[in-house]
Amino acid sequence: MKLRLAVTALALTAFGFSAFANETSEMREKLMKQAGGAMGTIGAMAKGEKPFDQDAVKTALEAIAETGHKFPDYFGEGTENLGDEASPAIWENMDDFKARSAKLAADAEAQLAQLPADAAGLGAVMGAIGPNCSGCHEKYRLKKQ
């Protein structure tokens, strides 16, 4: 009886951890997908595939800023090996990782303060935001197998 309780408790603990791990990993991916979708929207307008819409640019930049602010919250201790694309290098360079995420938010906010009036201004927006994405991915995102 005691043994069964212990086994149940152990199973519950393991279940609790894996649910937490899944949530952590899902939040990382959700925030990044949000940034990816936002960049996609701005890019499509820049290329003329979508009509210019300043409100949509604003919403997209707000989503990118939110990602920048929240992303590091999902990289606590003990979440190094969740089997996603987060590189172990993140935990070895946590200050740099956090600074890059904060810079993404700050750069998105700087663009929000001077929203372009037409599609011609979107190249500069992409140029200000894009290097944040690629720079961090090169260092801290594992390549898909």
The binding site for ligand HEC (CB under 6 A) comprises: 25, 28-29, 32-33, 35-36, 39, 64, 71, 84-86, 97, 100-101, 104, 129, 132-133, 136-137, 140-141
Encoding tokens for residue 121?
């201004």
- In sequence order, the 6+-apart residues with CB closer than 8 A to the CB of 123 are 46
Given the complex with ligand HEC, which of 45 and 104 has the nearer CB atom?
104
CB of residue 63 vs ligand HEC: minimum separation in angstroms? 9
Encoding tokens for residue 12?
């519950």
Given the complex with ligand HEC, which of 96 and 119 has the nearer CB atom?
96
CB of residue 102 vs ligand HEC: minimum separation in angstroms? 9
Q: State how far the Cα of 98 lies from the Cα of 73, in Å rounded to an integer.
A: 9
Q: Locate tokens 């899902």: which residue? A: 26
Q: State how far the Cα of 105 lies from the Cα of 132, in Å rounded to an integer.
A: 10
CB of residue 104 vs ligand HEC: minimum separation in angstroms? 4
Given the complex with ligand HEC, which of 85 and 119 has the nearer CB atom?
85
CB of residue 66 vs ligand HEC: minimum separation in angstroms? 11
Residue pair 113/138 in contact (Cβ under 8 Å)? The answer is no
- How far is C-alpha 123 from the chain's CA centre? 22
Given the complex with ligand HEC, which of 45 and 86 has the nearer CB atom?
86
